[in-house]
Amino acid sequence: MSTAELTASPLDPADAILDDVVQAGDGWTRVVRARQTLRIVDSHGNQAVDTLFYDAHDHAERYSAQDTISAQRGIYLTTGSRLLTGSGRALMTIVADTCGRHDTLGGACSQESNAVRYGEHTRHMHACRQTFLAQALAYGHGLEKRDLTHNVNFFMNVPVTPAGGLRFEDGLSAPGKYVELRAEVDTLVLISNCPQLNNPCNAYDPTPVRLLVFDAGAA
Amino acid sequence: MSELLTPARVLPGAATWSGLLRRGFALDLEDLEGGANVALLLLDAHEPTERLNVPDSLKAQHVARITAGVALYSDMGRVIASVVEDTCGWHDPLCGHGRLEELEQRFGPSSYAEERNAVRRGAREELVLELAKHGLGARDMAATVNLFSKVTVDAAGRLTFCPGSSPAGARVVLRADTDLLVLLNTAPHRLESAVDWSPKPVALNVREVGPAAPDDPVRTACPENERGFAATDAWTER
């Protein structure tokens, strides 16, 4: 496996205009204004932070994993990755990353996919798409199930083998690692701090994450 | 139940098509000249907010390529389609359909006034337009699968398009496991590097194959698919 380039941020948490902790299984919704920066901190390590992005003024313009990975000719997100919509516009750019690799392929867990993957006994366990749907409905502005799509999994490591297999490997993350995204336009961010209890990726123990927002020029 | 598609139609290169494919019917696609690409989008014919979910399909089966034996899942934990035959071996679920902007960057501008129906159209724009014919739109788009195209991923995560993976006469057969609205676009794959714009035609044929039997090889491929098919059967036979 190649060694990822890591990029630390010059931003000081003391300068953040918002400093939230999101517990495991909880959600977070906010419009990050153009030129603001969002930092996501994997406080305890190997937590999956499932995240959706929309143009705050046109929700049909939303993050598209396929457009994003095709444009950069690679499946992993890290510093320099531009998160593109289905029509090719950049919503956010990753400007710092001390983890080095984030997943674009695995999507979010749901009650329905849990029942497929782990068995019927897991159907009523909490899942990311319950959080996404609840966050979307609570946000309003017409946001609903049809607007939910293929998300980013920050801090997750999902490599593809040369033969076309998909693997879920131990994350490259560790306590305190973070990723920072600068908004190119006003961007609605929906986060589900993954509650998954059936997957060894988080040692069956989902943990809190910290979210900080910085105004432009905070560095 | 009668066949709902006109049999053996030819879909020209860079064209878009949509149609209803009922549970138990199969869509047989043939790459007539070799090097075709077909972007595939599937929505439930009765409840279009339920649609092809590429991540759920990949992670249920631990695959990053589509071939015979692979099930395609909706976001609701049901198998909505199965690849029941494939002479190609690899169809790309990672890269998705291209946009007009990408064609303009590669080939320059193109206009109907100059080129009539050889005008270059973007797959994304055409698929959104096709969705609009069914009262749907950009909000109903989802990740697509590129039939007849192979893209590999190296250890650093880099994507490589593999030209020549689909010879003339290559076939893939997709069975509908629930009633589907199928959308197809035959623009070239967005990562192919051909110097000239040369979209390729495919032949479409529909035949009745029946729903997946208890010993169907896609159903029995893994415990996940057994559960996905059980969910589909329970839903469609209600």
Candidates B51, B67, B86, B141: best to mutate against A (most CBs of A within 10 A) is B141
Phi/psi for B117 (5° steps) reads -80, 5
**Whether the complex's predicted ipTM surpasses the cut of 0.85:** yes
pLDDT tens, position by position, B193-225: 988 999 999 999 999 999 999 999 999 999 999
pLDDT at residue number A202? 81
Distance CA A42, CA B89 (A): 39
CB contact under 8 A, A113 and B96: no
Taking alpha carbons only, the member of A19, A24, A16, A74 closest to residue A49 is A24
Torsion of CA A63, B139, B130, B121, to 10 degrees: -30
Please list, in sequence order, all residues whose beta carbon lies within 8 angstroms of the beta carbon of residue B51, skipping any fewer than 6 positions away. Answer: B41, B42, B43, B44, B74, B75, B140, B142
pLDDT at residue number B238? 58
pLDDT tens, position by position, A65-100: 999 999 999 999 999 999 999 999 999 999 999 999
pLDDT at residue number B50? 98
Closest in B59, B73, B137 to A106, CB measured = B59
Q: Is A129 helix (H, G, I), strand (E, B) or coil?
A: helix
Q: Is A62 helix (H, G, I), strand (E, B) or coil?
A: strand
Query: Which residue numbers in chain B have pLDDT < 70?
Result: 1-7, 238
Token duo for residue A55: 């143009």
Query: Which residue numbers in chain A have pLDDT < 50?
Result: 1-2
CB contact under 8 A, B77 and A2: no
> What's the gap in Å between the CA of A121 and the closest CA on chain B?
12
pLDDT at residue number B236? 85
Single-letter amino acid, residue A174: A
Taking alpha carbons only, the member of B76, B17, B29, B24 closest to residue B50 is B76
pLDDT at residue number B7? 53
pLDDT at residue number A118? 97
pTM, entire model: 0.96
Do residues A39 and A11 make contact, with C-beta atoms less than 8 angstroms apart?
A: yes
CB contact under 8 A, B58 and A166: yes
Closest in A111, A115, A146 to B140, CB measured = A146
Residue B87: Cβ-neighbour burial (10 angstroms; 0-12, 13-18, 19+): middle
pLDDT at residue number A108? 97
